[in-house]
Amino acid sequence: MRDLRTRFQRLGGGRLVSAGLSLVCLGMAARTAPAARPGTEFAVSPPGAYLGDGAITALPSAVRRVLADTSWFLAVQYYGNRRLDGSSGFPDLGALVEHALRLDPGLRPAALVGPLLLAEPPPLGAGEAERADAILAGWVGRHPGDFDAVLIRSLLHTWHLQDPGTGATLLEAASARDDAPPWLVAVAARSLTGVGARAPARELWRALLERTDDGRTRSNARTHLLQLDALDRLDEISSLVRVYERRSGHPPRGWEDLVAAGLLPERPVDPAGIPFVLDGAGVPGIAPESPLAGIPGR
């Protein structure tokens, strides 16, 4: 008997038990939610759905993880079946994702992928962006160093909640952490530039210059600092254009009009030395051939 127990442990007895429980739960899931044919519906009842918080806490951690995996499996199956069915909504998806995380708050796929499916508008998703944000907010609160989750939450605010300012602020706060990766600092700075927050964007680019020795990263930071200088110069030129319009009653036809009016000494150039352009409506901009072209929000 002792030899059998020893061999069982060497083979990974705990993993075998966990795998066995997984098979049992997946079998239950298959009976509860069979693969649907197009045009049909199926009821969703994840394992442990009727257990209270106290009962869930009393379960062994391995059992909770298996039940959580099964609930997440059900959520994915539910999503896939309804997509194949051509259904226009996913009314039970949020509950399935939340239940999986209730069983195992550390189930990262449910915490990151689940909100993506929830936030997408129909027919690709459930169109529940605020519910998705709540799930991500809870996850980031427990795992503030999960910068992928911070990025996903920021994109959710920018795209689905139409709130790019909050998205940029979330990135800025995360990038202030000592363990924030350079790519997050760069994304945060670009996001802040896109919403017009140039001062904090400058601070981030300068901080990135100080904290990295990577030549490519430093070059990128310098370019973006020059872009911010170009934006400031464009603001100044736009003010001069408005002065010209008030005086003449029409926009300038070219830089020569502003020079002739004494508003500019010569055709202005950007910080890279490339002349700015002026379109037919009198709006100044960075020339497409300039290395500073492609500023977020322009």
Domain boundaries, the chain: 1-127, 237-298
∠ CA 192-152-105, rounded to 5°: 135
Tell me, what's the pLDDT at 58?
Answer: 82
Nearest alpha carbon to residue 238 among 269, 289, 278, 199: 278
Q: State how far the Cα of 157 lies from the Cα of 163, in Å rounded to an integer.
A: 5
Amino acid in the structure at residue 186: A
Predicted TM-score (pTM) of this structure: 0.75
Whether the pLDDT of residue 30 is over 50: the answer is no
Arithmetic mean of pLDDT over the chain: 85
**What b-and-e string marks burial along 89-107, b requiring 16 or more CB atoms within 10 Å of the CB?**
ebebbbbbbbbbbbbbeeb
What pLDDT is attached to residue 87?
85
Write down the pLDDT at residue 127. 96
Q: What is the full DSSP assignment across 66-96?
A: HHHHHHHHHHHHHHHHHHHHT-S--TTHHHH
User: pLDDT tens, 198-226?
Assistant: 999 999 999 999 888 899 999 999 999 99
- 26: confidence class by pLDDT, cuts 50, 70, 90: very low
Does residue 252 have a pLDDT over 90? yes
